[in-house]
């Protein structure tokens, strides 16, 4: 009787779509990309994108923005809806990469594992299905899509992955999603990013990135208060010791 009752409950949940919250991954093999939502199905938030930017990459940004709007600067537990979706348990863990995985999967991008030994075509929209930030870097490096900020003039684009390092420590400490880019001239760009697990919150960050800094590992600075045009962002840097390690070209 108990087994029959449990089966009925499970069937009801399936019909209600509750089981769709579980991640369709086994953490070892990247799944096939789901169909991306059509143009206009997601809230646009008045964002504009380059004409050549693929729809899945646009939806990557819009999905991340929607998650921010759902939890704007709200402090979330380490075991939250994103970690439970991905790991299917209640483990407490740093979740900046899991957040971008969630957004990438739900936007129809092809997730990719480190050492997967499958090269994706140049026109594919990809992101890394890796919980460790260092492995996110390795995925994009393997795919020939990594822009190392201290070795080249790394140019950000909306929908790219951004990885941060800490001076005198690891170059792979945190990962976020580039929402928008405004060129300022002289190799400087105003970036707006969406990042999970910044002090246990989802935040929109707004700052200046310098692609040709005078001093190595000092390529981030605050926007002067009188020049701030974005709303609902954090305008101070995450930490003074952080720098932009580079960008993963998702498209």
The whole-angstrom separation of Cα 64 and Cα 1 is 44
Q: Where are the domains of the chain?
A: 64-248
Residue 117's pLDDT is 81
Residue 22's pLDDT band (cuts 50, 70, 90): low
Tell me the per-residue pLDDT of 105-156, one tens digit each, with 9 for 90 and over: 999 999 999 998 889 999 999 999 999 999 999 999 999 999 999 999 999 9
Tell me the per-residue pLDDT of 85-98, one tens digit each, with 9 for 90 and over: 999 999 999 999 99
- How many residues comprise the chain? 251
- The four Cα atoms 102, 105, 108, 114 give a dihedral, to 10 degrees, of 130
Residue 26's pLDDT is 79
Share the mean pLDDT of the chain.
91
CA distances from 234 to 162, 239, 243 (A): 17, 12, 16
pLDDT at 58 over 50: yes
CA distances from 154 to 2, 50, 79, 150 (A): 60, 18, 34, 8
Eight-state DSSP code of residue 176: E
What stretches of the chain show up as alpha helix (H) in DSSP?
2-16, 55-70, 81-87, 96-106, 133-142
Tell me the per-residue pLDDT of 171-214, one tens digit each, with 9 for 90 and over: 999 999 999 999 999 999 999 999 999 999 999 999 999 999 99
Tell me the per-residue pLDDT of 212-236, one tens digit each, with 9 for 90 and over: 999 999 999 999 999 999 999 999 9
The whole-angstrom separation of Cα 196 and Cα 6 is 36
Q: What is the pTM of this model?
A: 0.90
pLDDT at 14 over 70: no
Residue 24's pLDDT band (cuts 50, 70, 90): low
């Amino acid at each position: 009787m108990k087994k029959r009752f449990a089966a009925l409950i499970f069937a009801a949940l399936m019909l209600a779509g509750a089981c769709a919250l579980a991640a369709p991954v086994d953490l070892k093999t990247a799944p096939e990309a789901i169909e991306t939502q059509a143009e206009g199905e997601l809230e646009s938030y008045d964002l504009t994108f380059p004409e050549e930017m693929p729809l899945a990459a646009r939806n990557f940004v819009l999905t991340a923005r929607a998650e921010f709007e759902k939890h704007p600067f709200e402090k979330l537990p380490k075991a939250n809806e994103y970690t439970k979706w991905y790991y299917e348990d209640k483990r407490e863990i740093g979740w900046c990469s899991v957040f971008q995985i969630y957004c990438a999967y739900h936007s129809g991008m092809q997730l990719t594992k480190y050492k997967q030994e499958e090269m994706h075509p140049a026109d594919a929209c990809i992101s890394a299905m890796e919980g460790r930030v260092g492995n996110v870097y390795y995925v994009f490096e393997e795919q020939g899509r990594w822009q190392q900020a201290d070795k080249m003039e790394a140019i950000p684009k909306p929908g790219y992955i951004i990885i941060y390092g800490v001076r005198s420590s690891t170059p792979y400490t945190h990962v976020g999603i580039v929402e928008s880019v405004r060129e300022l001239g002289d190799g400087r760009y105003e970036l707006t990013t969406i990042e999970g697990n910044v002090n246990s919150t989802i935040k929109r960050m707004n700052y200046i990135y310098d692609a040709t800094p005078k001093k190595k590992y000092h390529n981030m600075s605050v926007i002067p208060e009188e020049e701030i045009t974005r709303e609902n962002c954090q305008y101070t840097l995450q930490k003074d010791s952080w720098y932009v390690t580079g960008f993963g070209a998702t498209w």
